[in-house]
Amino acid sequence: MALFVFESIAQYHKELNNGSTTCLSVVEFYLQQIEQQKHLNAYVEVFAEEARAKATQLDLQLEQQRNLKKESSDKTSGPELLPLFGVVVGIKDVLCYEGHTVSAASRMLNNFKAPYSATSIQRLLDAGAIIIGRLNCDEFAMGSSNENSAYGPTLNALDNSRVPGGSSGGSAVAVQAGLCMVSLGSDTGGSVRQPADFTGVIGLKPSYGRVSRYGLIAYASSFDQVGIFARNIPDAALLLEVIAGQDAFDSTCSSLPVPAYSKELFQPDAALFSRMEAPAMESVQHSKTYKFAYFRDAVEHPSLDPEIKTALLAKFDELKAAGHQVTALEFPLLEYIVPTYYILTTAEASSNLSRFDGVRYGHRSAEPVEDLADFYAHNRSEGFGKEVKRRILLGSFVLSAGYYDAYFTKAQQVRRRLFDQTQLIFKDFDAILAPTAPTPAFKFGEKSDDPIAMYLGDIYTVFANLTGLPAIALPIFWHSNGMPFSLQVMTNRFEELSLLRVSASLV
């Protein structure tokens, strides 16, 4: 079989148009790669026959379009393709795809078939994408290492003794190892950015409300967002353009218009210019300088690997030398963000996961039971894994009558203050720069017995989810241990276009 080298969606479309490749041969290529890299355990199910059928149908369609074009007098270029025509996509096992199993990597949903498609999935399909399979993750998207999956862990393709990150570990590795072109994951507290960081691919979490959550199995509803893994910024921009936007099925999804991210990516930054005086505007138009902020406490934090710190500070110096402003801000709330995140998300999770009782949804125990409470207890004890149980217990605790005000209410107050502070920051700055994770990918087992150590690793990612900001992990660094790590960039809510533009200038 001819070797296929995936560079970008635009390049692939060029090759389809000039007839040097076909959707079917590309699908066969990916199926072969998936088979060869089976040990990575990235896919929990491959939709091989279906992907082949869709590819064949797309190839036929393209052939017909080409013939029509030949007959007409229009000889300009190839036929217009749908935005994701023939694009081979993998999806995290928390996104519903009608008629296909979706299990949230849990025994609880073993063999559960999605009765409808998530809005993001439907939009992929409508844009011509080929969904090649569902990808491994931590159970119910709870975790940072992919060690909490009922299917076993996904391995980091760069070093099989290291975790790929989580919870969207399978989605990250599928793009890392060339097992699809782009993939979807979900990010509640870093589950797209942190595995992207650990595997060396781009991970984009849109603003809360930018992409519909309809059909995304809920972990913590006021945090959850569908996210994107890609190998380059234009592909991430295109995917976002396709899946973002208003949805009648999700009232938390914004009705703000969706910019044509992929086209506007390389045009001047209007949002940035509007904040500037006329003379400053001129200088920016020529040099495209940005006002970056970073939190001193984040870079000085004792948990941050010294090499990551050095690399970030060197990057900041490089940006300053190129004419950008890079300003250190004090951020005394840093120590509160992980506890705030874990109080609020476990509270929401304990409520969201109550539907998995073996009656409405989920595993039903075969054991004899005494009464209804016993029946639920059996179903839930057998269906859920250890980490999910821990979070349900934590969440029930912080919501219980005696502790509600001390924990849940307090955490909500902190969340509000964080949001207010961010709004102040964005009055003066275009973007916030930060590490993505305190260390590069760690070894399997290193943190699995210490949930607190695992939770503390989320220190740099949960901020964007608590405040609803869009954030991206840009894999631009290498550690001396051979693993990649990334620069995290955040812009104000719904300023994905600026985020993508800044990112394009940084990679």
Binder of ligand GLN out of 167, 176, 262, 350 (CB under 6 A): 167
Minimum CB–partner distance for residue 54 and ligand GLN (Å): 29
- Give the active site residue among 120, 144, 149, 191: 191
In eight-state DSSP terms, residue 329 is E
CB nearer to ligand GLN: give 84 or 95.
95
**At closest approach, how far in Å is the CB of 226 from ligand GLN?**
11
- Given 92, 171, 205, 486, the catalytic residue: 92
Among 133, 189, 195, 215, binds ligand GLN (CB under 6 A): 189
22 vs 340, beta carbon nearer ligand GLN: 340
Min dist. Cβ of residue 390 to ligand GLN (A): 11
Does 187 sit near ligand GLN (CB under 6 A)? yes
Active-site residue, 288 included? no
Build a one-symbol-per-residue string for 397-436: x at contacts with ligand GLN by CB under 6 A, - elsewhere.
----------------------------------------
Q: To which residue do tokens 């996210």 refer?
A: 227
**Structure-derived torsion over alpha carbons of residues 112, 117, 118, 121, reported in degrees to the nearest 10:** 120
Tokens of 208: 């809360």
Residues ≥6 apart with Cβ < 8 Å to 153: 41, 136, 145, 146, 147, 163, 164, 169, 444
Q: Give the separation between CA 99 and CA 116, rounded to whole angstroms.
A: 7
At 283, the amino acid letter reads S
* DSSP state letter for 187: -
Q: Residue 408 has what DSSP assignment?
A: I
CB of 169 to ligand GLN, least distance (A): 11
In this structure, the number of other CB atoms found within 10 A of the CB of residue 449 comes to 8
Spatial contact of 497 and 270, defined as CB atoms under 8 Å apart: no
The 300-329 contact track toward ligand GLN, x by CB under 6 A, reads: ------------------------------
Which helix (H) or strand (E) is 171 found in, with range?
A: helix 169-176
What residue type is assigned to position 468 of the chain?
G
Integer Cα distance of 167 and 411 in angstroms: 23
Which 190-249 residues touch ligand GLN, going by CB under 6 A? Answer: 190-191, 219
Nearer to ligand GLN, 83 or 190 (CB): 190
389: number of Cβ within 10 Å? 15
Choice from 37, 144, 176, 488 touching ligand GLN (CB under 6 A): 144
- From CA 129, how far away is CA 124, in angstroms rounded? 5
Helix, strand, or coil (residue 50): helix
- Between 188 and 212, whose beta carbon lies closer to ligand GLN? 188
Handedness of CA 459, 299, 316, 467 (dihedral sign): positive
Residues in the chain: 507
- In angstroms, what is the minimal distance from the CB of 125 to ligand GLN? 24
Q: Which of 83, 133, 143, 470 binds ligand GLN (CB under 6 A)?
A: 143
458 in contact with ligand GLN (CB under 6 A): yes
Cα angle for residues 118, 123, 126 (degrees, 5° grid) = 125
CB of 2 to ligand GLN, least distance (A): 38
Q: Are strands 471-478 and 484-490 parallel, antiparallel or unpaired?
A: antiparallel
When CB distances to ligand GLN are compared, the closest residue is: 191
Q: Cβ closer to ligand GLN: 86 or 470?
A: 470
CB of 348 to ligand GLN, least distance (A): 11
Interface pick for ligand GLN out of 141, 202, 236, 414 (rule CB under 6 A): 141
Tell the smallest beta-carbon distance from residue 193 to ligand GLN (Å): 9
- Which of 191, 232 has the CB closer to ligand GLN? 191
503 binds ligand GLN (CB under 6 A): no
Q: Please, what is the Cα angle at 125 between 123 and 127, to 5 degrees?
A: 70
Which of 465, 463, 454 minimizes the C-alpha distance to 391?
Answer: 454
Q: Which is nearer to ligand GLN, 219 or 375 (CB)?
A: 219
Question: 193 vs 378, which CB is nearer to ligand GLN?
Answer: 193
167 an active-site residue? Answer: yes
CB of 287 to ligand GLN, least distance (A): 36
Give how many residues touch ligand GLN by CB under 6 A.
Answer: 14
Contact 152, 41 (CB under 8 A): yes
Of the pair 133, 189, the CB lying nearest ligand GLN is at: 189
What lies within 8 Å, CB to CB, of 265 at 6+ separation is 233, 234, 237, 497, 500, 501, 504
SS3 186: strand
Residues 80-139 touching ligand GLN, rule: CB under 6 A, are none
Is residue 171 part of the annotated active site? The answer reads no
Cβ neighbours, 10 Å, residue 270: 11
Cβ burial, residue 305 (10 Å; 0-12/13-18/19+):
middle
Q: Which of 117, 120, 145, 167 is catalytic?
A: 167
Tell me how far, at minimum, the Cβ of 213 lies from ligand GLN, in Å.
12
Q: Measured in whole angstroms, how far is the alpha carbon of residue 460 from the centre of its chain?
A: 15
Q: Which residues pair with 36 in a beta bridge?
A: none
3-state secondary structure at position 477? strand
Nearer to ligand GLN, 51 or 226 (CB): 226
The mark string for 252-271 relative to ligand GLN (x by CB under 6 A, - otherwise) is --------------------
Task: Write out the catalytic residue numbers.
Answer: 92, 167, 191
Per CB under 6 A, residues contacting ligand GLN are 141-144, 167, 186-191, 219, 345, 458
